[in-house]
Chains A and B, each alone.
Chain A
């Protein structure tokens, strides 16, 4: 029989609280002063904790520790002049450490090429974690340093407040912070700002500074700023290698006359009344609530407040007054809920909320928890502890262990409270009885009756809150027993609980050290948990959880690959590449290019190139190839992709960096690239077009380009008006003709250009002889038509012979011209001139189309030699007699009938008689 967990509970008023040890053997020996020779040597968190200042992250995140300089050094231990900051996870394992006091070289890392400047860090005012697990350290000069959980410096902002100094040259409170991470040294001037207080929250920090006159050192004013840490480009998860930018905003601040600041606490925008960031300042005898617009004074009867803490839901404020009273006030200061007189003389070291309804105070060796109705519980400790508030409880980190103090949730109370007869307890007992093979199991189940569903809920919920795996199993078994008798119970609920528990047990394991409760896990979300695990180096677990929760493992794999590159100094490029590619290729759609880009940043160019070979997304591959200087491969890849845009990108990138000669050499061997480049040059009328074509030996293109150029430069109008332009056009055409002779196949084009020049000259001559007529701009045929119209037979003949117009073409042209002009006499004249080489049908068609009178048409039809079409045409214009005569000549019976039909009834009898006559003759002979 197991002991009931209720035995460990302590009652506080009507509620139960439970303090559960999660990890033991947390702390290690005091670190020696020398830098660790071997990484394994100092894996444990330094102790004793009371010698250290601490900053703890929420959601079971790491704790950062720095030795408190105000505490005297014990005899025998050595002083650490570097003031190392240790970062440890909840299981006491140190994940990183870095020296605070070290001359800092700005522009560190491979990413910035800024000139290096050596600066000293000031005194550490405070430090703390943002929600993306970036450690913000603020020194008294207002410089902000961002570190990751491994102690790697991410980003530095020197004197982030300098622009706000009085008399500062760039006194622009609305301007953004410099985004290059390093402030100008001379950005300040004017007064001195000395940071006195700093408080870090999820998204940044609030800094309070005293402004002093640089000459006299006199305090001028007090000012308050909010520094927001925006993650640069990436999301929360990518903050690992991408510290955020800072955005600075000045808040209102109570003046120096109000008194000294005793305590600062921050109301986050999500929970504050105004929905914006609010800061609670305990100044003098009062509390001030300040934001960017206002500074409201709230008077508190009990006099100076020394410590303050805001409830996780932001609705209540706990404050410890100098008088020794603990006050709990609503944040709008309308309700005073609890007043508790402590028995201690000194003020507590820490004051935090445990969940949303009780407050915990820490003195050196005693913890006092005060419940909502003024009840209290005290816990005693031998060694020093740190309190870490969470949304549903408080973590207690001591030299030797990590405990979690929380209010026992109702579901657990229902199940475990001695003598409970609630359905949950009955179900739980039923299972116990079943295991012991007693009949009471059934009895219990009957007793639950209708409330079975609620009972299952209770057991499942309780399992979620339990830290003990064996207990979880018992509760789940009980729930599952109930499930058998309750078929309507949703299956998903059961499965979800089990899934969450699996994840929670996995991360609570001492080797991982993220002791989340179910509520915390739900608030943190699995996505963030996975990225935190990856950041902490638990890639396998992160991958498993991501796959288990169907979240996609790309981010984890990328983080892993980056770590591999970061730490893989000893391994060869090939080994690294193989192992990275092997893993990354398992996850489809993950981009190797970003890993390659990281390798390049880390000065592993060869590795980057090798990795890029495996990137399937050419659009990501090409820019990086260009960046690492593999221009040829980049261009080839771009061509292979078929995306002209990418080819252009690569070409322009390369062209800017090498000489035109080298560039052309590069492009010449790649026909697709060169035709794209030529197409670009053509469309942009680039000067280099001809150079490019020349270098490629594309003579016909040079010729055609020249041709188009010449035509564009000189329109017909210009050529007609301006003799100089005319001459230029003619000589240009001759030049083009020469260019076309470079290639045998373009003899036709060459001749055409020559002919064009000849035409222009002939036209000029014609214009000279006949003033008031324009020829320039007309084609050969149009010029000839004009000659026909003007009756200039000599010029017409000249053009015909000059341009070798064939007889047929010549006749067609004249027929069309005359018909168009409706000059029927001239047309008939032409028809009678001599035997037409094109026959007389064209005459007929053209004339008829242009509406020639029947008399003209008849004359033309008579000239048509083919009797059959003569008959048809006569018929078409209604001359039936003639049609019949012509038809007779064909001796075609059908045609005759047809014409008779065409003649119809409208035709006079004469005509039909004629037809009959002819038909008769025809019959007679046939």
Chain B
């Protein structure tokens, strides 16, 4: 399984494969610091993302013999282990668990009067923090262990997608008022700027975006990015940075994504670039071992898969015909094969390589088809969402939510997602429904859900309508969020990704790239949060670099603080592929999300 999981990154505009290679060597250097055979204990939250950077074989070559996930009552000390390496996120809970491990191991070795003790190394990623060291100190273990950091800020998910994979950003910032993760975002941007040079134009919308841009500016100053050598024009250069605070567009993630990749994520869930295809749809042939059959197959989804690259951004409705076309084409060629010359046959055989991929996607697409377009409930939900976006059906949606709970006992996240959608389009859930829904949730899912409910409220996802004007209709009009005559099969506008709704976040990006940026975008004032645009220039940078577009397309880094959905990424890719803007997008996010995972992160 090694290697196949990671996207090739060859075609990236930014030096992402170098980024990945340096992360790899960083990690291996950390591991090599201690001699001999080692046990690696991983934070479950980073083991997935880490697979996008390093693979098991690589770790084994460097002496990692066993791999555990950090959890309660884990016992790494089995008597033969001499070296234990922890690699974790710098959270208090993790540090507590590590301390317990260390203390337990020390007590045990003292009891057995073992001469040699275990040596522990703790590596925090992306950086070690004062708090963590303090807690290690309080637990009395700091002195006997080695602590350092593994600066893995950005994890490349694809040629044009980078993620920090910190899922707590949205909840930390909106609910706890803890802005510490924004510093991580800024650090990641600066890390990128160290490779790609100072980004000359920065624009953004939202309170968090403002904070991040201030921080990044300051960090750039401290690192003297303006004075360090800039990469030559054209080569791995970023021209624009657009910062979008998720809080400015909570609506889009609440809608069901309708692109191929988005829908796969909604229905099966894509984690760290992998989708798990249920085993019931068994793989062809009995080549795979039994165990894997039961667990389902994990299929990597990234642009190294040529067919997926073609399909991922399409509206799901056009995936079927496309696949059918491909298959037909193959068959026609096969039938013509008798009349062909030797070299043409060779060409055809080469093309056969795509067969397993074609097969895989046909299988995946039919599975998705069954669970979406052929599913009454799915369609009903979709209708309800589209009515809401059109500005009708608030009451019906609330009643539907009640039915979801009491009749279907849908998962809490699914219910909250619908309630949030109502709240977003209506400027709050109507009073008469709000308390009933809240009570309903407590009655159905138990009173212990109260805390989660409060956090959803605190995050701004859902709230009670307290009178006042609802700005959404104006925003919808100003940004043409709802497009009626959209042809999903041959789209002319990004609204195809939600079959008729254009994600606000992407419209903001579009506005950001117009002259003047978001700062001078009047419509953006309808959305709460500051908007800004500024230019920064490296010392000694030639004036000729202005705009950067003399001949070449501009590269735009769009940073979503609080997460981005696959449908939004598809929309940006579509914007890039259309002539109008003449830009290439690279997306950076704190986490790849969908509405359900976003709500879950608050629970």
Residue numbers of A with Cβ under 8 A of B are 588-589, 616-619, 641-646, 648-649, 652, 671-672, 675-676, 679-680, 683-684, 704, 707-708, 711, 748-749, 752-753, 755-756, 759, 778-782, 803-806, 808-809, 812-813, 815-816, 838, 842, 845-846
Contact = CB atoms under 8 A, between A and B. Distances in A.
A756 B447 contact: yes
- The interface size bin for chain B is 35 or more
A618 B448 CA distance: 43
Given A642-B215, A675-B176, A780-B443, A749 B406 contact: no
Contacts of A675: 176-178
B119 interface: no
Contacts of A780: 442-444
B592 to A, nearest CB: 24
Contact of B176 (A641, A643, A679, A711): A679
Contacts of B91: 683
Interface stretch (B97-105, B127-135, B304-312): B127-135
Nearest to B135: A684
Contacts of B374: none
Nearest to A778: B446
A645 B180 contact: yes
Interface stretch (B107-115, B217-225, B474-482, B569-577): B217-225
Interface string B196-225: 000000000000000100110010011010
Query: Which of B131, B440, B443: most chain A CB closer than 10 A?
Result: B443
Contacts of A704: 451, 454
A752 B447 contact: yes
Given A589-B227, A684-B135, A644 B407 contact: no
Q: Which 7 A-B pairs have the closest CB atoms?
A: A644-B180, A812-B406, A675-B177, A756-B447, A779-B446, A812-B407, A780-B443
13 contacts: A588-B227, A618-B218, A642-B179, A642-B211, A680-B92, A711-B448, A748-B435, A752-B447, A809-B440, A813-B407, A816-B407, A816-B408, A845-B407
Interface in B442-466: 442-448, 450-451, 454
A588 B442 CA distance: 59
B66 interface: no
Contact of B407 (A588, A618, A842): A842
Contacts of A749: 450, 454
A748 B451 CA distance: 12
Contacts, number: 127
Given A683-B92, A808-B402, A672 B177 contact: yes
Given A675-B176, A842-B403, A779 B186 contact: no
A707 B182 contact: no
Contacts of A755: 442, 447
Contacts of B448: 711
Interface string B141-185: 000000000000000000000000000000010001111101100
B182 A752 contact: no
B443 A805 contact: yes
A752 B439 CA distance: 8
B454 A642 contact: no
Contact of A707 (B221, B226, B450): B450
B93 interface: yes
B178 A679 contact: yes
A708 B451 contact: yes
Contacts of A679: 172, 176-178
B409 interface: yes
A781 B443 contact: yes
A630 B332 CA distance: 81
A152 B402 CA distance: 83
A809 B176 contact: no
Contacts of A803: 443
Q: Is the interface of A mostly helix, strand, loop or mixed?
A: helix
A42 to B, nearest CB: 45
Contacts of B214: 642
Interface in B207-249: 211, 214-215, 218, 221-222, 224, 226-227
A813 B129 contact: no
A806 B433 CA distance: 13
B183 A648 contact: no
Contacts of B298: none
A806 B221 CA distance: 61
A711 B446 CA distance: 12
Query: Which of A617, A778, A812: most chain B CB closer than 10 A?
Result: A812
Contacts of B451: 704, 707-708
Contact of B406 (A644, A680, A781): A781
A809 B447 contact: no
A644 B178 CA distance: 8
A644 B446 CA distance: 35
Query: Which of A589, A618, A704, A753: most chain B CB closer than 10 A?
Result: A589
Given A683-B93, A704-B454, A779-B444, A617 B176 contact: no
B69 interface: no
A88 to B, nearest CB: 40
A764 B559 CA distance: 53
B218 A812 contact: no
A748 B442 CA distance: 11
Contacts of B215: 641-643
Contacts of A845: 376, 407
A553 to B, nearest CB: 13
Contact of B443 (A588, A680, A779): A779
B361 interface: no
Contacts of A707: 450-451
Contact of A644 (B183, B218, B226): B183
A752 B218 contact: no
Query: Which of A645, A676, A749, A803: most chain B CB closer than 10 A?
Result: A645
B435 to A, nearest CB: 6
Contacts of B135: 684
B211 to A, nearest CB: 6
B507 interface: no
A616 B226 CA distance: 14
B204 to A, nearest CB: 15
B438 interface: yes
Contact of A680 (B131, B177, B442): B131
A676 B180 contact: yes
Nearest to A733: B447
B227 to A, nearest CB: 5
Nearest to B454: A704
A646 B450 CA distance: 33
Contact of A748 (B131, B176, B438): B438
Contacts of B226: 588
A816 B224 CA distance: 64
Nearest to B132: A645
Contacts of A846: 407
Contacts of B127: 645
B432 to A, nearest CB: 12
B395 to A, nearest CB: 13
Contact of B131 (A617, A645, A672, A805): A645
A649 to B, nearest CB: 5
Nearest to A819: B407
Given A645-B129, A812-B403, 9 more contacts: A642-B183, A644-B183, A645-B131, A680-B92, A683-B92, A753-B447, A809-B406, A812-B407, A842-B407
Nearest to B444: A781
Contacts of A759: 447
Contacts of B539: 588
A694 B442 CA distance: 28
Contacts of A684: 92, 135
Nearest to A683: B92
A780 B451 CA distance: 17
Contacts of B172: 679
Contacts of A808: 402, 406
Contacts of B178: 644, 675-676, 679
Query: Which of A642, A671, A672, A755: most chain B CB closer than 10 A?
Result: A642
Interface string B284-323: 0000000000000000000000000000000000000000
